[in-house]
Structure 1
Amino acid sequence: MTQQVVPSAKRFARETPIGRKRRARKMAKVLAETHPDAHCELDFTTPLELAVATILSAQTTDVRVNQVTPTLFKRYVTAADYAAADRAEMEELLRPTGFFRAKTDSLIKLGHALLDKHDGVLPGKLDELVALPGIGRKTANVILGNAFGVPGLTVDTHFRRLTNRFGWVLEEDPVKIEFLVADLIEKRDWTMLSHRVIFHGRRVCHARKPACGACTLAAMCPSYGTGPTEPAAAAKLLKGPRARELAVAAGVDPELVPAAAVAAPEEP
């Protein structure tokens, strides 16, 4: 049975701050139900490995990074290994990730900084992380949330796009978005919310044409109608291994989801 939801942006025009917070938390709950498989998609076993992988993920996909890091992590295990790296050798390893010269520079400098300031150990505090080469606030929050268990919001392109579409924020600056969303969502949920929003952005709420008619958030979203609302058209836009399950969750016939959508790469 398909959804019969036709929300209008006008419904949210006079929304109070407390109303927005309640709606945001309801949407966060639905996202948790919609994407139970949400997780950090970078492969790592130590905080340093996650820091390196996150630095490498700039301007490329997590899939591509995960193809490169097994060899990289065998060759470079400690901060001292990165500090002493042969530049040409590391550049060749990182070439598939793009911007490999700049990334090599960041990793070598990171190794030196960790040795000079932290006895070779990656710190677990935001202010110390952002002071390190190659690590900005977004990267620091990824590290804190996934390697140290410290709640953090990762404001990437998906998170910025979706929180604006959801009407949680009207802002493009990542730091401002982080603080605004932090005021809406309970701290304990920050890290997983980031993963769930990113999964939703990759699989459902695409940049150019979101699958509005096959979205579990349709009834609460002021941007409903940005993409096709007809279930048959929307279902074709779902992507990823759970595309048919996402259709079912939205009340849409899973048979409308083509096999190609299940096998299609998700939006980077």
Structure 2
Amino acid sequence: MRRNICLVISYDGTDYFGFQSQPGGNTVQDKLEEAVRILTGEPHHMLGAGRTDAGVHARGMFVNFHTDSTIPIDRWAVALNTRLPEDIVVHSAREMPDEFNARRHAVRKTYRYAINCCKFPDPFRRRFEFHHPTPLNVGAMQAGLQHLIGEHDFTSFTSPLSTKPHHVRTVYEARLESVALPDDIPTLLEERDRIRFPGKTRGLFHLYVSGNGFLYNMVRIIAGTILQVGEGKRQPDDMAAILAARSRAKAGPTAMAHGLTLWKIEYDEKYTC
């Protein structure tokens, strides 16, 4: 009997060309499909809940595929992890209704962008956070993010290479969260910094953006633009004007990929993996 298997996976995207399979290979999807083929002897095409870019990570990615294999569901994770590279991990597997589609049935996705604005980078987290060596005005960034909440046309915050028929999306939440750091990592401003950067602070901050769907580079462009607000190059209310302009040229740069992680994906109770 043909089965529909859903996997929950995490991966460090540093060394991959993104999640989705490409002609050049070396994607997370390629590695997963190869592991399943070795395990079952069947070729498979996997459907991922998202299409993370090259260098972007995932903490809670969902994928599904159909198989004739009779391997017990509680053995899939262990069996696949022995056949996957160490930077891709399967956390769990569940048999789903035949119609389940990891991408189409997702109702909410959350991305996290990690920003380290301590004076020096952290060598242990360098693959997963963007180092911004100067302090930021976190209050201004929080205020600017509020303009993104709700249903909007996000043309200004997507790549011109987007192939989507429209750019209207709903953002449920956009916030900046301060993260506690070890005592031996200095976060207080030096006296000269207080003079040069009034109203700004150092530390590690996580930008969370949740929505019903995201466009190509959308979260990275939001991150790049809100960083300019934190730097004082833009005002918080500029975020509303950028949205209204519906022009990529009005927004800030696309932030570096390595700071971004697909954090969480949610489904209706019927399809919870």
Q: TM-score, normalised by structure 2?
A: 0.32
Higher helix share: 1
TM-score, length-scaled by structure 1: 0.32
Of the two structures, which has the highest relative contact order with CA contacts closer than 8 Å and spacing of 6 or more?
Answer: 2
Greater strand share, 1 or 2? 2
